[in-house]
Structure 1
Amino acid sequence: MRFSVLASGSSGNAIFIENDEHQFLVDAGLSGKKLESLFSKIDRSMDNLDGILVTHEHSDHIKGLGVVARRYNVPIYANEKTWKAMDGLIGNVPLDQRFQFDMETVKSFGGLDIESFAVSHDAADPMFYTFHQNDRKLAIITDTGYVSDRMKGIIRGADAFVFESNHDVGMLQMGRYPWSIKRRILSDVGHVSNEDAAVAMSEVVFEKETRIYLSHLSKDNNMKDLARMSVTQTLETCGIIAGEYVHLYDTDAEEPTELVTV
Structure 2
Amino acid sequence: MGLRFTVLGSGSTGNATIVKGQDATVLVDAGLSAKRLDELMREQGVAGHEIKAIVVTHEHSDHIKGLGALARKFNVPIYANEATWGALERHVGQIGSEQRVVFETGETLQFGALRTTSYAISHDAAEPVGYVFEEDGLKLSLATDLGYVSDKVRLMIEDSDVLVLESNHDVNMLRMGRYPWNIKRRILSDVGHLSNEAAGEALCQLMTDRTKRVYLAHLSLDHNLIDLARITVNDVLESNGFFFKRDEHPLRETYHDRPTAWDEVRRK
Tell me if TM exceeds 0.5.
yes
Partner of residue 170, structure 1: 172
Q: Which runs of 4+ in 1 moved over 3 A?
A: 242-246
Q: What letter corresponds to residue 134 of structure 1 in structure 2?
A: D
Give, in angstroms, the shift of residue 37 of structure 1: 1.4
CA distance in 2, matches of 1:51, 1:111: 14
Partner of residue 109, structure 1: 111
Give, in angstroms, the shift of residue 164 of structure 1: 0.1
Q: Deviations over 1:183-230 (max 9, x none)?
A: 000000000000101110110111135111000000000000100000
Give, in angstroms, the shift of residue 242 of structure 1: 4.2
Partner of residue 191, structure 1: 193
Partner of residue 4, structure 1: 6
Whether the 8 Å CA contact 1:209–1:246 is kept in 2: the answer is no
Which of 142, 161, 184 lines up with 1:182 in the alignment?
Answer: 184
Give, in angstroms, the shift of residue 243 of structure 1: 4.3
CA distance in 1, matches of 2:59, 2:104: 15
Aligned pairs for 1:26-65 (under 5 A) are: 26-65=28-67
Q: Deviations over 1:12-59 (max 9, x none)?
A: 000000112100000000001110111122111112100000000000
**Percent of aligned pairs with the same amino acid:** 48
Partner of residue 261, structure 1: 264
Partner of residue 133, structure 1: 135
Unaligned runs of 5+ in 2: none
CA distance in 1, matches of 2:112, 2:41: 23
Query: TM-score, normalised to structure 1's length?
Result: 0.98
How many corresponding residue pairs? Answer: 262
Aligned pairs for 1:53-132 (under 5 A) are: 53-132=55-134
Unaligned runs of 5+ in 1: none
Partner of residue 156, structure 1: 158
Give, in angstroms, the shift of residue 239 of structure 1: 1.1
Change (3 A) 1:64 1:104: same
User: Are positions 1:249 and 2:242 aligned together?
Assistant: no
Q: What letter corresponds to residue 151 of structure 1 in structure 2?
A: V
Whether the 8 Å CA contact 1:242–1:248 is kept in 2: the answer is no
CA distance in 2, matches of 1:208, 1:19: 20
Give, in angstroms, the shift of residue 146 of structure 1: 0.3
RMSD: 1.0
Whether the 8 Å CA contact 1:8–1:251 is kept in 2: the answer is yes
Q: What letter corresponds to residue 116 of structure 2 in structure 1?
A: I
